[in-house]
Structure 1
């Protein structure tokens, strides 16, 4: 259909624009795409405009997810993810953010989660983000993301060549961040609760 094709087209263009060069001293010259013109018949203009708006929001969320996944674990640790959540909360008045520290986790009886984090110098964080886009009593969509920013679990049996990829164990949390960012961009009339269990698993 027209909407679907237009959305995929704009998403693909936006995705192709993504570059992660935050830590490069010499950055390649990039010519950003400034304008896209889509030609369609008059009856489909509204669908195409809606598709472009949706695609842009989705691409923004995808970029956030990829940024978090690409960051090294010495930067993207549980505290960093907590700060990212706070920044989203400050930018959007209908998003409430709670960051639970070790003391609160102990009060909640989350001993297993605390055990995962106890070998690390990085403190764990349980991040709860509550987006209120619909009526207060409406049931929310609940997204839960694994945020293990580096996972050395089974270090004695994992080959060294694959250990660097253990930073990607937080990509569940990164995906939730990206999804929520798209929801916020679109101001969707729904309620969403995001729960992220963030810790570094070290021996």
Structure 2
């Protein structure tokens, strides 16, 4: 009646294919989770940790804000994003927040939409990060004003550290094989020695 889960055909593949396979099983939005891990890897130090601040041009931006902003273009054509822009425009016109000057109003509208998208993006980011932490692909702690801490608050900012298969995303680093992966012989060997 109940069948044991079949081993994935990808478990013996490359580090990235193993990561994708794991994401497909542990995340409700595996593509989003992969993009999140890739962005973290882009700004990670050699130990795999990123944050609490990311340097953007000459400014320092909190990691979560930077991640939200980096993921924002993925939703530009989403009907919900287009509806948000129209809703914000209507609210601002109703409240008299627009000046009547097209370039200035476009900037005001853009700033407000970005603020709202960033707020909802942080919710999505936290949900994905929690799934990745549970899967052992990410470690999270908060660093800041007083002391490092596992919980946020008191002006502490998130620090994410890649773990497990996700470490394959750090350039030039190989990860150890999964414990259930059989040893493979080198190409051209006819016998396992």
Tell me which interval the TM-score lies in, with the shorter structure as reference length: under 0.3
TM-score by length of 1: 0.27
TM-score by length of 2: 0.28
Q: Which has the higher strand share?
A: 1
For the pair shown, which has the larger CA radius of gyration, 1 or 2?
2
